Structure 1
Amino acid sequence: MSVEPLDRVGIVGLGHMGASLAGALAPHVAVVGYDLSTASVDYVRRQFEVEVTRSLEDLVRASDVVVIASPTPSVRQIRDEIDRLAGAMGRRPVVCDIASVKRELALDSPMPSTIRYVSLHPMTGREGNGAKSADPSIFVHANWALVLTGHEEPGALALATRVPLMLGNGVVPIELTDHDRAIAMVSTLPHVSAVALGRLVGEGESHALLQLLAAGSIRDSVRVARTEPTRIVEMLYPNRSQLKAAIDALISELEACRDNLDDEAWLLAWTQSGHRGAEGLLPRNDSKRMHRVPLPELASEFQRMARVGGVVVELTQSAETIMIVSVGGETSGDELS
């Protein structure tokens, strides 16, 4: 099996994430962007000097990988339209969504018959909305979730993962059943707590005084609440079933703190535990490990990594063999110096 070329990436949807991704990819690969908004198309063309089109058909015809960067509720419709167009052209492009919530995408159901589908989720972003809020730097040192359903073709996985890897990003394999629960804790819940603090401090009875006293700790804590509210709702509502459990867990922590405020030893142990947890979220310099797998076994290898943990940082394909370099987790292979 020959190595598939990745000459052009098509991006459908040039809002905050799509435009940011277009700008980040432009120095590495040819990019063509598509959006119904003339203003977004014109801005991305001028700002990042990438090719743009108002024709989804032209984008599908030109792209080796198509990234759907539109709001989650529209992903399935766009996916089906791309499948129809690709079928009429006799093409089988790799198509990826980058939606933050996978529950509504029906990824565990049979996929459209023509396209080769891979679901990704870049763990990055910033406050803002629309193409003019684009910031390619959000993809510096980012990790992407590679969401596994068991239906992915090995060649499609190899091609799709090259998109984040060419940005110097890491790829974290994760099972579909685990994704939305994990995202509720590390992404959606922080938005909920930021909004709650924003309301409590910024709009409460003493908000005028509190605004004058606000410094780094509260400003950092509410930063993501400055995201355009409709974007926050697009994160919260689709993942509401998992988010409820995450909110309950946070409430339990807050109630435990409230109930033990008179116990200094308990407070010290509690804050020490939180300190360790926060330190564990910082980037680490783990040793790299290299291992080779036959291309037909790539999906199985990613599923194994999803079980034991690990981040793919390099992937090289030569005919029938894939070389994977990864960090963290219980990854097998030879340690690299």
Structure 2
Amino acid sequence: MQSSPVAGNRSHPLRAAVVGLGLIGGSLLRALAAGGHDVTGFDADPRTRELARAAGHRVADSVTDAVRGAEVTALAVPLQFLPQVLPQLAGHDGLVTDVTSVKGPVRELAAAHGLRRFVGGHPMAGKETSGFAASDPDLFSGCAWVLCLEPETDLGDWLALARLYTELGARVVPVTAVEHDTAVAQISHVPHLFAAALAGQLAGHPLAAALAAGSFRDGTRVAATRAELIAAMCGGNVDAVRGELRSLIGVLREMSDLLDSDDPVTALVPALRTAGDLRRSWPATPGEAEELTASVGSLLELGRSGGWVTAVHDGEVLAMRPGSDRKAS
């Protein structure tokens, strides 16, 4: 295992920086502060900086000032703004991570800008509202937080972040950037596009809008997310999103074909029953806790099996895998 200045027991609060104070960055700033860490924030928007200061947080007036001396820096800016932020980290010796919803392009940017120590990350947490005013220090409690393990990743740095985020209440999931981008296209990015298509059914149909209830509300909730955010995450993950969107369209076409059968009710039942069983069995119940060898191979195998890290202490990794005792009904 490679060493890290922030690995091992934390004998003092970490010096941390959060660049970008929207929903995720603002929540991380607040969560780190609540956890006793010495954290400084920065946001390009002066009004956001003032909001964070008014909430009692230390906020710098530049990226350079925010990250000076930081042991851990979290980049919480949209993908399209990372090329403007990364040059300001030139020569920075601290551990850098991010919270961007697509990981392949961020990995490439980090390499292109010569970041010395970088671990890609993505907390699977959010709301349909945005901005620092919507931030919540408890946002990450119980959420899955992806931390990427690549050939160039320093394992000590990875473990340090895993420990930090599990202390915030998150379940840390180790995967590669490619695996992450495919998975989030399936369960986040394409669902946002599908929700937008469903919400579009309201246009010019006032009766439908008057009758819409629970199924419409639940199926379209994320369509209320800012359009720029949805476009950025889907456009930044275009290859995976295109492939998964075409796959979903294929499934819908199959359902359309079932409706054309002589007995559409009977024809639809098997597909709908399978989908129902899958939904009722999600989320998976936790299985038995286990102690895991801290190696890239064992950690990636854990993530690929749907498992997660629950705690890290002195290099000891405690993990959980999905249980198999839940019965579909």
Same fold (TM > 0.5)? yes
Q: Which residue of 2 aligns with 1:148?
A: 149
Amino acid of the structure 1 residue aligned with 2:310: V
Provide, for residues 262-303 of structure 1, a one-character-per-residue CA deviation record: whole Å limited to 9, x for no partner.
33333121111101221233252321111344xxxx434323
Distance in 1 of aligned mates of 2:257 and 2:114: 56
Equivalent residues of 1:310, 1:329 under 8 A apart: yes
Distance in 2 of aligned mates of 1:12 and 1:323: 30
Q: Which residue of 2 aligns with 1:335?
A: none
1:78-227 → structure 2 map (5 Å cutoff)? 78-84=85-91, 86=92, 92-107=93-108, 110=111, 113=114, 115-200=116-201, 202-203=202-203, 205-206=204-205, 208-227=206-225
Amino acid of the structure 2 residue aligned with 1:249: S
Provide, for residues 214-264 of structure 1, a one-character-per-residue CA deviation record: whole Å limited to 9, x for no partner.
211101111101011111111111112111111111112211112213333
Q: Which residue of 2 aligns with 1:250?
A: 248
Q: Which residue of 1 aligns with 2:41?
A: 33
Equivalent residues of 1:75, 1:97 under 8 A apart: no
Q: Please, which runs of 5 or more residues in structure 1 have no aligned partner?
A: 87-91, 331-337
Equivalent residues of 1:76, 1:105 under 8 A apart: no
Which secondary structure does the structure 1 equivalent of 2:318 belong to? strand
Provide, for residues 33-81 of structure 1, a one-character-per-residue CA deviation record: whole Å limited to 9, x for no partner.
111212111112223x222111322222232110000011222442332
Distance in 2 of aligned mates of 1:190 and 1:53: 37
The normalised TM-score by structure 1 is: 0.85
Which secondary structure does the structure 2 equivalent of 1:254 belong to? helix
Equivalent residues of 2:307, 2:319 under 8 A apart: yes
Distance in 2 of aligned mates of 1:329 and 1:142: 15
Shift of 1:102: 2.0
Q: Which residue of 2 aligns with 1:312?
A: 309
Q: Please, which runs of 5 or more residues in structure 2 have no aligned partner?
A: 324-329
Q: Which residue of 2 aligns with 1:280?
A: 281
Query: For residues 309 and 228 of structure 1, do their structure 2 counterparts lie closer, same or farther at Cα, with a shift above 3 Å needed?
Result: closer
* Corresponding position: 1:302 with 2:310: no
Which secondary structure does the structure 1 equivalent of 2:139 belong to? helix
Q: Which residue of 2 aligns with 1:325?
A: 318
Q: Which residue of 1 aligns with 2:327?
A: none
The normalised TM-score by structure 2 is: 0.87
Shift of 1:194: 0.6
Q: How many residues align?
A: 312
Aligned residue among 49, 65, 68 for 1:58: 65
Which secondary structure does the structure 1 equivalent of 2:269 belong to? helix
Distance in 2 of aligned mates of 1:81 and 1:214: 49
Q: Which residue of 1 aligns with 2:18?
A: 11
Which secondary structure does the structure 2 equivalent of 1:260 belong to? helix
Query: For residues 285 and 104 of structure 1, do their structure 2 counterparts lie closer, same or farther at Cα, with a shift above 3 Å needed?
Result: closer
Which secondary structure does the structure 2 equivalent of 1:138 belong to? coil
Distance in 2 of aligned mates of 1:81 and 1:280: 46
Distance in 2 of aligned mates of 1:78 and 1:162: 26
Amino acid of the structure 2 residue aligned with 1:9: A
Identity of aligned residues (%): 28
Query: For residues 241 and 30 of structure 1, do their structure 2 counterparts lie closer, same or farther at Cα, with a shift above 3 Å needed?
Result: same
Provide, for residues 78-116 of structure 1, a one-character-per-residue CA deviation record: whole Å limited to 9, x for no partner.
2332133x2xxxxx2110011111232243984655631
Amino acid of the structure 2 residue aligned with 1:239: N
Distance in 1 of aligned mates of 2:164 and 2:247: 35
Query: For residues 31 and 280 of structure 1, do their structure 2 counterparts lie closer, same or farther at Cα, with a shift above 3 Å needed?
Result: farther
Query: For residues 24 and 165 of structure 1, do their structure 2 counterparts lie closer, same or farther at Cα, with a shift above 3 Å needed?
Result: same
Provide, for residues 277-333 of structure 1, a one-character-per-residue CA deviation record: whole Å limited to 9, x for no partner.
21233252321111344xxxx43432343444420011111xxxx111111169xxx
Coordinate RMSD, CA, aligned: 2.2
Amino acid of the structure 1 residue aligned with 2:8: V
* Corresponding position: 1:72 with 2:70: no
Distance in 1 of aligned mates of 2:282 and 2:90: 39
Equivalent residues of 1:152, 1:299 under 8 A apart: no
Query: For residues 95 and 46 of structure 1, do their structure 2 counterparts lie closer, same or farther at Cα, with a shift above 3 Å needed?
Result: same
Query: For residues 306 and 80 of structure 1, do their structure 2 counterparts lie closer, same or farther at Cα, with a shift above 3 Å needed?
Result: farther
Query: For residues 260 and 329 of structure 1, do their structure 2 counterparts lie closer, same or farther at Cα, with a shift above 3 Å needed?
Result: same
Which secondary structure does the structure 2 equivalent of 1:125 belong to? coil
Query: For residues 174 and 222 of structure 1, do their structure 2 counterparts lie closer, same or farther at Cα, with a shift above 3 Å needed?
Result: same
